[in-house]
Structure 1
Amino acid sequence: MSNTDVAISAPAPIVSVKPVVLPAPDRGHDLHVRVSAPATGRELPIIVFSHGFGSSLDAYGPLADFWAAHGFVVIQPTHLDSRTLGLSPDDPRTPRIWRHRVEDMKSILDHLDVLAAAVPGLGGRLDPTRIAAAGHSFGGQTVANLLGLRVLDPETKIGEDLSDPRISAGVLFATAGQGGADLTPFAVENFPFLNASFADMTTPALVVAGDNDDSALTVRGPDWMTDPYFLSPGDKSLLTLFGAEHSLGGIPGYEAAETTDEHPGRVALIQHLTWAYLRSALYPEDAAWPAARTALSQSTDPLGRIESK
């Protein structure tokens, strides 16, 4: 049995519109969003996707295109750290970019009707009761905030609850672990928001980590990226990808320069398993996830392993 032997329908045609502009007067730049959706179908579930540091709404085609072709509406903002905006390090917004990212995602959820109306034929076809959030790297922490992760104030050591009850499940790709002594001096100086607590991250989630993702932000090594699974309570699953580095085989884009571990088979596995996870998370009667887990466990040459709690 192959690594991607998951029962899934043939890909459907998709429509994609960009940029849809949401006014954001307090942000300094209006929020630009890409919306991708199946050309047909009703009561469509939603995935809001947060890109990695420096990226934009134009990236992550291998994920967005696949999810949209198999029944999800995928919504991708361009966050303030994007290279397309060119904010300087001394911009007054820079220290709170992590917070602006969370607010971007909430703004999308506040304006689903506006976003749907901007895509020809999409109005009235969304199911706002079935929403998931997914993100890669910095975007993984952005999504984790929406699931209950708390960034700790350096003085009080208390973190504000930024979770959003509209989100039923999350997928965290290559997401930072705990802070404190686990951080390198570089990370301590430049990324204070990495001091966070997973203790209240209760929303169900799939954590995806590469066992060769050796980050410059931590002194621990690749297992740091599994902290969102091991340190959070509730219904969680962990997909560990063998040999994968930070791009997990190539999810940031087709032939993206930052992919150091190009592996089309690994990307295909991620596509199928995340689709299956989100189907079962948003539709509990759907057996796609348990079937996908069984298929991977029975593979004679698996590209990864899954554990759950």
Structure 2
Amino acid sequence: MRRRIAVVVAAVLAAVGLGAPAAHAAPGGSGPYPADYETTLRLYNHTIYRPATIPAGLTLPIVAWGNGACRADGTWFENILKEFASHGFLVIANGRPGGTGSTDADMLTDAIDWAIAENTRIGSTYRGKIDTTRIAVMGQSCGGIEAIEASADARVDTSVFWNSGLLSDLENYRLARLHAPVAYLTGGPQDIAYPNAVDDYGRLPAGLPAFLGHLPVGHYGTFADPDGGEYGRVGSAWLRWHLKGDQAARTLFVGSGCGLCTDPRWTVTSKNLN
């Protein structure tokens, strides 16, 4: 009888995603830790990307992600989020896999709160495996606006706003709340968010480290390309620099001969990064 009950309980937990294996699709990403996604009842409205196998001694900085259109589909940006996670990050996207509906900035804060709690929770898969002192917030388009709002959180160490910028001057007060290095990455002048990003960049608080880069790929970028394409390469490097102190990744963004500065595909500028 006890064995039958245990089998039934295990089946129920697997069905709802609590205690289910990490792999829901093929592990991916170009980094050293092939990554996949999972879900949990403890953070029901999110999708969690992480190395399929977390090596002993590896701790994962936290990356909270807001989807374009503020859409509650945690696998809409699957390729680039697996890419980030494959470099040793815990990436938490708003929305369940294939989900519907809309999201808000509070969901990014919820993701951070959950990850910090999981690092110490007895019985957690992630107990002792999360670097709760290194946190990034990212988002695309509407999700980037969510990320701007969530970046007021004092725990955030860096933010990246993809194809995004505030839609109204009435929201500019949110820029004054940014306190950690930021990057605005757009799809060039043909990106509908290009003027918003440029305007935001010009209004950032004095002294705030910031990077502004344009790649002529339009509003939808390279997110759906294998490993997130060029966006995946650049976003991973930004995270490795700011959350892992990777000095090789740093050279992509700073210095007269920085990788993106000399790449003819990119148009870039920065301030206070050195």
Fold similarity call, TM over 0.5: yes
Identify the residue that residue 295 of structure 1 maps to in structure 2: 259
1:47 to 59, 63, 71: 63
Query: What is the root-mean-square deviation of aligned Cα atoms in Å?
Result: 3.2
1:1-309 to 2 correspondences below 5 Å: 10-18=31-39, 20-22=40-42, 31-38=44-51, 39-41=53-55, 42-53=58-69, 54-78=71-95, 84-86=99-101, 101-112=104-115, 121-147=125-151, 163-180=152-169, 195-197=171-173, 198-215=175-192, 222-233=194-205, 234-242=208-216, 244-249=217-222, 251=223, 253=224, 267-284=228-245, 286-291=247-252, 294-299=258-263, 302-309=264-271
- Matched position secondary structure for 1:12: coil
By relative contact order (CA 8 Å, sep 6+), the higher-ranking structure is: 1
Tell me the distance in 2 between the aligned counterparts of 1:120 and 1:109.
Answer: 15
Q: Please, which runs of 5 or more residues in structure 2 have no aligned partner?
A: 1-28
> Does structure 1 retain, via aligned residues, the 8 Å contact 2:30–2:83?
no
TM-score (ref. length: structure 2): 0.73
Instruction: Report the residue type matching 1:64 in the other structure.
Output: L
Deviations along 1:139-190, one digit per CA (max 9) or x if unpaired, are 101111122xxxxxxxxxxxxxxx211110001001123515xxxxxxxxxx
The change in CA–CA distance for 1:285 and 1:13 in structure 2 (over 3 A counts) is closer
Deviations along 1:96-126, one digit per CA (max 9) or x if unpaired, are x6xxx12211122222156567998433211
> Does structure 2 retain, via aligned residues, the 8 Å contact 1:22–1:32?
no
Which moved further from structure 2: 117-126 or 104-113? 117-126
Instruction: Report the residue type matching 1:128 in the other structure.
Output: T
> Does structure 1 retain, via aligned residues, the 8 Å contact 2:47–2:94?
yes
Tell me the distance in 2 between the aligned counterparts of 1:214 and 1:274.
Answer: 18
Q: Please, which runs of 5 or more residues in structure 1 have no aligned partner?
A: 1-7, 24-30, 88-96, 148-162, 181-193, 216-220, 255-263
TM-score (ref. length: structure 1): 0.65
> Does structure 2 retain, via aligned residues, the 8 Å contact 1:200–1:232?
no
Runs of at least 4 residues of structure 1 off by over 6 A?
Answer: 116-120
Tell me the distance in 2 between the aligned counterparts of 1:115 and 1:9.
Answer: 26
- Matched position secondary structure for 2:186: strand
Tell me the distance in 2 between the aligned counterparts of 1:282 and 1:164.
Answer: 16
Instruction: Report the residue type matching 1:199 in the other structure.
Output: A
- Matched position secondary structure for 1:111: helix
Count of paired positions: 232
The change in CA–CA distance for 1:11 and 1:83 in structure 2 (over 3 A counts) is closer
